[in-house]
Structure 1
Amino acid sequence: MKIILALILGTLFGFVLQRVGATDSRKIWGMLTLRDLHLAKAILFAIGVSSIVLFAGMSIGIIDAGHLSVKSSYNGVIVGGMLLGLGWAIAGYCPGTGVAAMGEGKPDAFVYVLGGLAGAFLYTLSYGAIADSWLFSPIGGGKVTLAATGEYSALIATPSAMLVALVLGGLFAAFAVLAPKKI
């Protein structure tokens, strides 16, 4: 059943990516150069709405925080994020949009996905050599969420943390709605 749900959700996600233009490397380049904010608005709106749904659902008990999988923050995340951003800027795709664009049959997306797989393979081969390096030193408290979720500590350790999370989600969504599409 889980694989069927994953296929359905993945198909819906790819459909939405295609509909908002995230599979068009020119639109992504427009966003990254701050000339066309359409995609940025879509991303910010999705983050805002999903944050509101997540934290509101946890607050009223319909979403079990035990189902969340919070990853640790460590130095390698910063290095990896810079590499991802560089690749995103050069290729015009991030991993999700690259796979969706590949599904549309775009040749540059095939090259992008193959490059990503080659990078993952090289990381796997080099992991043993870098596992004990500074790259895996925790930062920011390791596994941390914005508001307390049970087993994970929170950046804001007060009873009003959920309210702060909801307000931030609302601000993201409001900015997405109010910001211009073009600068």
Structure 2
Amino acid sequence: MNFILAVFLGTLFGFVLQRVGAADPVKIVGMLRLRDMHLAKAIFTGIGLSSTVLFLLLWLGVISPGHLSVKALYWGVIPGGVLLGAGWALAGFCPGTGVVAAGSGRKDAWFFVLGGLFGAGLYTMMYGSLKDTWLMHNLLGGKATLVLTGKSVPLIDTPWSPVLAIALGIIFLLAAKFLPDKLR
């Protein structure tokens, strides 16, 4: 059942990415150059809506925080993020949009996806020699969350933390609403 749900949700997510133009490298580069903000508005809407609903459901006890997995923050995330950002800007795809574009038949996206798989494989092979280096040492305490989940260090450990998280989600929604489609 989980596999069927994953395929359904992945297909739905890919459809939405295709519909908002996230599989179009011209639109992605336009966003990264701060010229075409349509995708940024879609991203802000997605972050705002999902954050607001998630933290509201956590606060109401509908979702158990034990089902959430917080990834550790470590020094290697910084050069990894720079590499990801550079690849995103050069290719016009991020990992998710590259797969969607490849699924829609774009040949350049297939090269992007294959390059990403090659990079992931290379990292997997090099992990043994990297795991004891400074790159894998925790940064800012390692795992951190906005609210206490019992698994990580909270950034804000107060009863009103969920209210702040929901407010941040609403700020993202408002930014999406009022951000113009074109900046230049």
- TM-score, L = length of structure 2: 0.97
Matches of 1:78 and 1:146, distance apart in 2: 21
The answer for unaligned runs of 5 or more in structure 2 is: none
For 2:132, the equivalent position in structure 1 comes to: 132
For 1:66, the equivalent position in structure 2 comes to: 66
For 2:43, the equivalent position in structure 1 comes to: 43
Matches of 2:155 and 2:45, distance apart in 1: 23
Distance apart, 1:151 and its partner CA: 2.6
Any idea what the Cα deviations from partners look like across 1:32-55, whole Å, max 9, x if unmatched? 000000000100110011000110
How much identity, in percent, do the aligned residues show?
58
Distance apart, 1:61 and its partner CA: 0.6
Distance apart, 1:150 and its partner CA: 3.1
What does residue range 74-89 of structure 1 map to in structure 2 within 5 Å? 74-89=74-89
- TM-score, L = length of structure 1: 0.98
SS at match of 1:75: coil
Any idea what the Cα deviations from partners look like across 1:57-105, whole Å, max 9, x if unmatched? 0000111111001010001111111110000000000000000000000
Give the letter for the 1:112 counterpart: F
Alignment RMSD (CA, Å):
0.8
Structure 1: which 4+ aligned runs deviate by more than 2 Å? Answer: 149-153
Give the letter for the 1:87 counterpart: G
Distance apart, 1:107 and its partner CA: 0.5
The answer for unaligned runs of 5 or more in structure 1 is: none
Task: Count the aligned residue pairs.
Answer: 183
For 1:32, the equivalent position in structure 2 comes to: 32
Matches of 1:139 and 1:22, distance apart in 2: 31
Which deviates more from structure 2 when the two are superposed, residues 84-93 or residues 133-142? 133-142
